[in-house]
Structure 1
């Protein structure tokens, strides 16, 4: 039944890997995808998008969507592969090149059986997932109009090749960013008593924030707060008057998310005040918690078993994923497929097993067909009842 060459999909993946582009700048990536899809006879849909591609296969009123993401990360590649990135400082360190190859394969296979499809499949090659703006761009452009269910994937380096995992309900986390700016009083490093040391104040706040998550919330809540950068001072003998640091907060519960933001803000302002400084706490919401529809997650797992995957229930994931925005609009399921990389996502040595690509393409072909059949059957039952 396979209507594509596995070698072709791997070649396409490697070409995408060699020429990665950052979020919102996927111009050449878009051109390559458009060319490959047009050459295969796919029907490209015209949406007002600067980057990204949307195609559709099939006929009829019943409509589902499949999604791949296409952007890369500002990471220097350290794999040593012959097809490593040729764009310095940019790398497909999250496997979006793999996801694109999977959905290219599904598109080609679905096109080969287009006349037998009991409906339409809209396939989204989405830009700008890494900065969490791409899904909303596509939604605002109207790509979900008429879509009744949506499915997507992420490769999972911690799972062996041939393994599949998903779960109903909360899956990926709320992924929020925070920035703290501390204003003290600069002074000569030899006379700290004449100033208010912004570095010391920032350090106290950072330590307190780490204790906040472990001592002010239930240990069974899934949450993490990580400080990922700090900037203060320009030279060795001056106490800087200002310091800034920032990081991320990951949660799965909306109430925990809101409470953590408020508690962190209060902590930051009060510790600064206690030291004679002032501090501002800014919170920047990222993609919300990704909540799979329980029935579609079970359906997706059932199809995975049919095509030969080792299926398991996914653990809660603390990564963020802008596929969550689609699931706020329509039901569907996001799934993990094992990629067996020694190094994890967002690492310069990340190297997923390309053997996952062809089976995953076949899986999404089967999932799309069976989802259309399921929706048609549900519609018939509703009419009869």
Structure 2
């Protein structure tokens, strides 16, 4: 626990009649409040500071579970705002708290890690670390959550519960969210919201949906062992290349012949390594790839069948196969499934803030994956896309591109939505408990 969190002092909790609660929280409950949050996020005081944070993080990208400088920067800013926090959580993670310290608890999440990509954009704040880049916008995610914290801290006396700020490490394949969940740091949180920048979506627009929005994603790697020999005398060898080739073909039937056409699934073999000479049959071949589905049932079925096919085809071709789903190295991600009630809350907040024409509430699901899904396995969760389209560029780069550029004018919308979603949720689920003192709960 940080020195800041140990200094988190609570005053006596006072119970008000419902009329008084609504009067005290009028800034959070009427439609104008959403615009007030957006106005605050767009003010030079917040906007310029938020952009400077984003650019500082962009210049110094860190990979998963290595976000030590990013974590230090976050804690420094929280200290300046007198926001208590826990650290370390999941190695580099930071969990902050704003509000009464009492239920209900609602969480806002931002991921912190960069990617092993060399930035190709020449600009004043280009990555200073060779081979590392914030090519997925997590620098913007951190900046927006800090800005939301600044806004919420200003209205802390009106917050009916506790907002939990989750600065999470290692989203990019390492399952940092799973470590946060396993730490117990969010034990009593009853809902969590997260967002992700969308470079193809115009500034001021958002997109999401109820139910599945991103697929579950798993990896597999298999070593197929045979018996090497001269390519001119195949009868003296056991060819692992032939066995692996049949595996690749057979794996494609999982989607085309076994899956319901209305249940989108993917099996892709993206790695095939074996042999180094034209006239030599190798001793072994390695193949690997990914599988994805929108339901846990379909996801688990694919995993089971991939193993059966690889082991079975190896036996047919007199080879041996060892398959690894890499759970210990990079755990598979469950499907990201948005809670229906939180979807209604999101639509209400977003429409009030942005206007009905700026909210796509039935976006087409994507086969991409997000470890935000680990939170959704233990509590209601909601995840949405935020527009940061750079209209000045003719070519729109996708996430994970070394040429990715985002429009920083989109960041105030993310900060304001964070603040509005949290405060609105707490207002809706407020709990008045007479005679209970406010106190810090070690596990929330």
SS at match of 1:124: strand
Contact 1:297-1:332 at 8 Å conserved across structures: no
Contact 2:337-2:373 at 8 Å conserved across structures: yes
CA distance in 2, matches of 1:166, 1:257: 22
Closer, same or farther: CA 137–261 of 1 in aligned 2, 3 Å = closer
Are positions 1:316 and 2:365 aligned together?
A: yes
| Per-residue deviation, 1:63 | 1.8
CA distance in 2, matches of 1:91, 1:197: 42
CA distance in 2, matches of 1:292, 1:378: 28
* Aligned partner (choices 42, 54, 67) of residue 26 of structure 1: 67
Aligned equivalent of 1:217: 259
Contact 2:89-2:95 at 8 Å conserved across structures: no
* Aligned partner (choices 32, 35, 40) of residue 76 of structure 2: 35
Aligned equivalent of 1:6: 47
The one-character-per-residue Cα deviations of 1:138-193 (angstroms, maximum 9, x if unpaired) are 22333213222111111123322222122222222111111121111111234334
Contact 2:114-2:133 at 8 Å conserved across structures: yes
Closer, same or farther: CA 84–199 of 1 in aligned 2, 3 Å = farther
Aligned equivalent of 1:346: 400
CA distance in 2, matches of 1:33, 1:51: 11
Are positions 1:307 and 2:357 aligned together?
A: no
| Aligned pairs (5 A) from 1:154-165 | 154-165=196-207
Closer, same or farther: CA 334–379 of 1 in aligned 2, 3 Å = farther
Contact 1:47-1:141 at 8 Å conserved across structures: no
Aligned equivalent of 2:191: 149
CA distance in 1, matches of 2:407, 2:104: 34
SS at match of 1:230: strand
Contact 2:90-2:169 at 8 Å conserved across structures: no
SS at match of 2:131: coil
Aligned equivalent of 1:231: 273
Closer, same or farther: CA 378–217 of 1 in aligned 2, 3 Å = farther
Closer, same or farther: CA 188–297 of 1 in aligned 2, 3 Å = same
| Per-residue deviation, 1:48 | 4.6
| Aligned pairs (5 A) from 1:347-362 | 347-362=401-416
Closer, same or farther: CA 266–142 of 1 in aligned 2, 3 Å = closer
Aligned equivalent of 1:106: 148
Contact 2:90-2:176 at 8 Å conserved across structures: no
SS at match of 2:140: helix
Closer, same or farther: CA 5–293 of 1 in aligned 2, 3 Å = same
Closer, same or farther: CA 212–140 of 1 in aligned 2, 3 Å = closer
| Per-residue deviation, 1:208 | 2.4
Closer, same or farther: CA 150–117 of 1 in aligned 2, 3 Å = same
| Per-residue deviation, 1:235 | 4.0
SS at match of 1:45: strand
Aligned equivalent of 1:292: 338
* Aligned partner (choices 430, 435, 438) of residue 376 of structure 1: 430
CA distance in 1, matches of 2:303, 2:385: 29
Could you tell me which runs of 5 or more consecutive residues in structure 1 were left unpaired when the two chains were aligned. 381-385
Are positions 1:65 and 2:107 aligned together?
A: yes
Contact 1:168-1:297 at 8 Å conserved across structures: yes
Are positions 1:280 and 2:342 aligned together?
A: no
Closer, same or farther: CA 63–263 of 1 in aligned 2, 3 Å = closer
Closer, same or farther: CA 136–258 of 1 in aligned 2, 3 Å = closer
| Per-residue deviation, 1:332 | 2.6
Runs of 4+ in 1 over 6 A off after TM superposition: 377-380
Contact 2:226-2:237 at 8 Å conserved across structures: yes
Closer, same or farther: CA 206–378 of 1 in aligned 2, 3 Å = farther
TM-score, normalisation: structure 1 = 0.92
SS at match of 1:171: strand
SS at match of 1:78: coil
Contact 1:290-1:327 at 8 Å conserved across structures: yes
Aligned equivalent of 2:289: 247
Aligned equivalent of 2:22: none
SS at match of 2:368: coil
TM-score, normalisation: structure 2 = 0.80
